[in-house]
Structure 1
Amino acid sequence: MASRGAAMVNYLKHLPRLTRLRMFEAAARLQSFTLASQELNVTQAAVSQQVRMLEQELGVTLFVRLHRGLDLTEQGQELFRTVSTALSQIATVAENMRAASRPPVIRVGVTFAVATFWLIPRLPAFRAAHPDLEVHLIATDRGFDSVADQVDIGVAFGDGAWAGFTPTLLKESTVFPVCAPAYIEAHPELKDLDSLLHQVLLSMEDDRPGRLDWGEWFARLGIDGSRASRMLKFNSHPLVIQAACEGQGVALGWTLLTDDLIASGRLVKALDECVKIPKSFFFVERQDKATAHTRLFKEWLLQKF
């Protein structure tokens, strides 16, 4: 043991200061003292001085100073390869150690509506049962594909085909008109589809193809939706549903998204008419990132259906 300690002391005597090596590596990689100083948050003069002192310590010239940058000498290239490899290995080991000490993270992709009206109210129960796991929600209103590369699992709405993900059907989609109980009381004339056309219809402003809006919903029931006289539009689905809960009009309600609000009495079905659409809600799991933690979340979520 003593010989190892002595060898280490002897080894350290030949090692240049880490500060000088870091500044040299940044300058060599960026081919600029100025850019290296910006990356390391020090002055350009400090980088230049530390590199010069490193050159004096080693007795070699590491850079050829050019008018608009730097170029490595042969000795500089050799040192850069060694230093960059060593720093990269140290950084990798350090990050692995940090990751090992952090709680496992499950990244879940959802729409804002699914997150707001279905998943978030249920998450406290999952966290209470599994306090050692962290759940990060990544929400979007632009379709699951827009966040697919950022997540491990998700609740997606579509036809069940997402590249690289295994889908499990959660619930088929039925769409129907919903409003606050107070809105029904204030509009006793709302009794059929024709009278619905004359109500304030709450809608999401979305030009994506295939999106079900009021016009399409009425068309599937054989009604000319262009006769609708009053439309109030929002740029997100949660805002549409919130406006309906506040009695500002009638919105299109979706199974899964409005089930809890109807069960709690905040919303009611304005009419019994409904439209079943081919797209559904799926649990999706990335095929190359399935872990014990994602399977645990999947088992918990499926128990809710």
Structure 2
Amino acid sequence: MTTLSAFEAAARHLSFKNAAQELSVTPGAVSHQIKALEGELGTVLFQRQHRGVALTAEGQALFETLSASFGRISKRLENIRQSDALEKITVGSTTAVAALWLSPAIIRFWREFPNLSIDQLTQDTVFLPRVDLDFVIRYGRDSNSKLRQTPLYRDELVPVGTPEMARDLADASLPELAGRWLIHLESAGRDWTTWGEWFKQLGHAGDLGAGTRVTNYSVALQLAGKGAGLVLGWRRLVQPLITAGQLSVVGSHVLTAPREFYLVEYSDDELSEKAATFKKWILSEVPEHST
């Protein structure tokens, strides 16, 4: 176990030095453990490079297995420690999904299951597997085909702005909309449809007018609600803002989103009873989800 722990830490950091710091040993001790493991297995696990190390194919396969196994062990130990405490489930999503859909849904969930605590993690970059994360709600499938991924729904993309803009542009053509001040979302994840892609898919290949660029969808929606321009709206996500009268759909042009939203399970274990309860409930929130 000591040798495997040393290998897992070195593979995770891709550095013998950083692994040694984590394990409170010397880099030489880590290197010795790795050499012993390679000798036992009869294969090279790391390619030694000028700056750091890289995993070989055999090393990568072993790391993935160990990482999943250590993660399950860690999670099981934590569950044992907290067996008498309130059981928690952790769900990850983007800030927009959390604010506009997931948080209100979780409040409804608590009314039915007050003894089950839900923690939320929000970030607008790709989630990496971690032992304390049960589910992620994401747009498009996760590239890790080993994860269980349940389709939730496919949204529609529509221009949204203030109710006044919606009245003024009720019959606007695509070129007219393209000439308006547009709020562009620039995020690290390039799965989101841009204004340029939206217009192109609907048949307008002309130039777009001047606009504002932001890196957060919630900020984009706030600007649109203040009359600063049009933003590309995910109809289901922004429906609470439409219902509240803060935003309105502008015009009649609609594009079906190219990808679906998914509920991704980030654990290799079978779902606990409480996690399975949450999954069943969240799917009931979108009764049209794919099966």
In structure 2, what is the Cα distance between the partners aligned to 1:104 and 1:199?
50
C-alpha spacing 1:156/1:203, structure 2 compared with 1 (3 Å): same
CA distance in 1, matches of 2:223, 2:153: 25
1:261 is matched with 241
Gap runs ≥5 in structure 1: 1-28, 32-93
CA contact (8 A) 1:138 1:147 kept: no
Range with bigger deviation, 264-273 or 95-104: 95-104
8 Å contact from structure 2 (residues 166, 251) kept in 1: no
Specify the code of the residue in structure 2 equivalent to 1:159.
R
| 2:255 match | 275
The number of residue pairs the alignment matches comes to: 213
Structure 2 counterpart of 1:302: 283
Residues in 2 aligned to 1:287 and 1:221: alpha-carbon distance in whole angstroms? 39
What secondary structure sits across from 1:102 in the alignment? coil
The alpha-carbon distance between structure 1 residues 133 and 189, as it changes in their structure 2 partners (threshold 3 A), is closer
1:159 alignment partner in structure 2: 141
Question: TM-score, normalising length from structure 2?
Answer: 0.65
Q: CA RMSD in A?
A: 2.7
Q: CA 1:267–1:283 in 2, change beyond 3 Å: closer, same or farther? A: same
Change (3 A) 1:96 1:299: closer
- Any runs of at least 4 consecutive aligned residues in structure 1 with deviations exceeding 6 A, and if so which? 94-97
State the 1:278 CA deviation: 2.7
User: Aligned equivalents of 1:296 and 1:176: distance in 2?
Assistant: 34
Q: How far, CA to CA, are the matches of 2:89 and 2:217 in structure 1?
A: 25
Higher relative contact order, chain-length normalized (CA < 8 Å, sep 6+): 2
> Residues 109 and 189 (structure 1 numbering): CA distance in 2 closer, same or farther, change over 3 Å?
closer
Question: What do the CA deviations read for 1:22-62 (whole angstroms, capped 9, x no partner)?
Answer: xxxxxxx958xxxxxxxxxxxxxxxxxxxxxxxxxxxxxxx
**2:170 corresponds to 1:204:** no
Relative distance call for 1:127 and 1:210 in structure 2 (3 A) is closer
What's the CA shift for 1:293?
A: 1.0
Cα offset, 1:103, TM superposition: 0.8
Structure with the larger helix share: 1
Indicate yes or no: 2:230 matched with 1:250: yes
Report if the CA contact (8 A) 2:199-2:205 is conserved.
Answer: yes
Taking structure 1 as the reference length, what is the TM-score of the superposition? Answer: 0.62
Unaligned runs of 5+ in 2: 1-22, 26-76, 287-291
Q: Check the 8 A contact 1:156/1:284 in 2, yes or no.
A: yes
Which residue in the other structure is 1:214 paired with? 195
Q: In the aligned structure 2, how far is the partner of 1:157 from the partner of 1:279? A: 7
The alpha carbon displacement at 1:98 in A equals: 4.5
Listed one character per residue, the Cα deviations across residues 160-194 of structure 1 (whole Å, up to 9, x for unaligned) are: 65444212221113211111203334x45872211
Task: Give the C-alpha shift of residue 128 in structure 1.
Answer: 2.3
Q: Match for residue 210 of structure 2?
A: 230
Per-residue deviation, 1:211: 3.5
> Structure 2: how far apart are the matches of 1:279 and 1:97?
39
Contact 1:204 1:236 in 2 (8 A): yes
